[in-house]
Amino acid sequence: MLKYKDPRPVDEVFRALGDPTRRDLVERLSDGPATVSQLASPLDMSLSAVVQHLAVLESCGIVRSEKVGRTRTCRLEPVGLGLAEDWFAGQRALWERRLDRLGEVLADDVAADAARLAAEQTAEGPSPSPSRGA
């Protein structure tokens, strides 16, 4: 089993991405930086609700925002998404090893079955050939 020094950061990333609105915000930010107003415009919720969603994404390191004057611009922060990517890579490696081992066990079983079948056929002796013209 994979062990992490502190599982909370990756847990927070997955908790943040567990909400469909936040996933939508992340997908739209993947096209490039956007203002809070731009992110909020297609959503059927208040601007303050969008700000709360962005705050969750910012708290776990997925999004970074910067305020210039009255405009707050958000952008993706690769480090936060890197936590999830690293977790998935570890899981993929773990399951690849497990499936490789399962393949080896199954191949050994097939080889053992084939050897057992060959031994049984040898023990029975040659099959009698059908007689011609009786």
Instruction: Provide the pLDDT for residue 60.
Output: 92
Angle in degrees, CA 79, 84, 90, rounded to 5: 120
Contact 13, 61 (CB under 8 A): yes
Per-residue pLDDT tens digits for 39-95: 999 999 999 999 999 999 999 999 999 999 999 999 999 888 888 888 889 899 999
Contact 39, 28 (CB under 8 A): yes
Phi (first) and psi of residue 93, to 5 degrees: -65, -45
Collapse the DSSP code of 110 into the 3-class scheme (helix H, G, I; strand E, B; otherwise coil) and give the result: helix
pTM: 0.67
